[in-house]
Each structure stands twice: as C-alpha cells, then as structure tokens.
Amino acid sequence: MDLINPSPQVFERKDTDRKARTKQELAEDVRDPIDALEIFEHVRDLTDPEHPYTLEQLKVVSEDAITVKDDEGIVSVLFTPTVQHCSMATLIGLSLRVKLMQTLPSRFKVDIAVAPGSHSTEAAVNKQLNDKERVAAALENPNLLEMVNNCLAGSYR
C-alpha cells in the first residue's frame, strides 16, 4: 500500500519535566487539577498509524493544542494530521479518544478535533469523532480496535 505521507518531517521529543513545582503541587493532601501537560503526557507517545514515530515526533499533537478546564471537567484536544488529505485522521482521533477515555476520570468530557484548516474534510472528521454512538460502534469492530490498540501500544511503554 502506498503511504499517504511517504516522508514526514520528524521532530525531537521535548523535555517536559515540570521544572517549577509550586508548594501546592507538592502538598500531598491537595488534589492537583489536571492540566494540559498531563493530557499531553498521556497522548504524546501514541504511535502514528503508518510510521514508526510518535504523534509528538510528527507534531500531530502538542501541549499548546490541548485545553483543559478542570473545574468544568472538559478536555479539548486539537490534532494536526501530517497531510491535509490524511485518511488516517479519524483513526488518529479515535486513538486519542480511547486513550483519554482509559486514563481520565469519567467526569471529564473529551472533545477531539483536527486543528482548524489542517484537514480537507475537517467538519466531517470532527463530527464523526464526536459522535459517541459511532465511536462506540467503531470500538466494537475488531479490526478497527486492533489498529487503535497498535497506536496506543507505544504510549504504555
């Protein structure tokens, strides 16, 4: 099969250690709100469906494109497919959703979308990724689930 993007640009993994921890963050009896960096840590090492690189290395996901409203329980992730016509966009989006469903407390609502202007069928991809009935049905499909699990595997290493 021809690759959709035969030679993607690969970037280095960023060092994102939390440099400055506030006194409050270090206190053990205080609940730390979930922030964009924490979400990024969950999704940065997902593997691209067609390359042996992580979504971070391909700049598909970045900390800047993640918004968290901890008090309202809303997480929003924008991702940027490597090419405009990427047919893997829904698979990447689905993998992001599954990863966050598995790791976040159920009180969180997760919105996944391609970054504005980054995909030729942006509205259609976004609508599909945020229709939970379609997502539920997709995850009952063994072939699709296997592809999702392949993308997720790297993030558990």
Partner 1 sequence: MSKLKHLQTLAGHTDRAWNLAWSPNGDTLASCSGDKTVRLWTRKCPGSEEWVCSAILEEAQARTIRCCSWAPGGRQLATASFDATTAIWEVQGGVWEQVALLEGHENEVKGVAWSPSGSLIATCSRDKSIWIWEALPGNEYECVDVKQGHAQDVKAVVWHPDGEILISCSYDDTIKLWRESDDEWVCEQTLTGPGLGHTSTVWGAAFKRGGECMVSCSDDCTLKVWACKSRDGELWWAPLATLSGYHDRTVYSVDWSASGAIASGSGDNSICVFEEEEIASSDVNPQQKPSFQLSIRKLDAHPTDVNCVRWHPKDPSLLASAGDDGCIRLWRYQKGLDMAGNMLEAGSAIESSMT
Residues that bind partner 1 (CB under 8 A): 106-107, 109, 127, 131-134, 136-137, 140
Nearer to partner 1, 26 or 136 (CB): 136
In angstroms, give the least distance from the CB of 39 to partner 1: 19
In angstroms, give the least distance from the CB of 112 to partner 1: 14
CA dist 157 and 69 (Å) reads: 28
Nearer to partner 1, 13 or 109 (CB): 109
Nearer to partner 1, 85 or 127 (CB): 127
* Range 27-57 burial, b when 16+ CB lie within 10 A, else e: eeeeeeebebebbbebbbbbbbbbbebbbbb
Residue 15 contacts by C-beta under 8 Å, 6 or more apart in sequence? none
In angstroms, give the least distance from the CB of 104 to partner 1: 12
Q: Coil, strand or helix: which one is 140?
A: coil
- Residues 137, 81, 153, CA angle at the centre, nearest 5°? 60
CA dist 106 and 76 (Å) reads: 15
In angstroms, give the least distance from the CB of 98 to partner 1: 14
Nearer to partner 1, 55 or 148 (CB): 148
In angstroms, give the least distance from the CB of 140 to partner 1: 5
Nearer to partner 1, 85 or 109 (CB): 109
Listed in sequence order, the DSSP H helices in 19-131 are: 23-26, 36-43, 89-103, 122-129
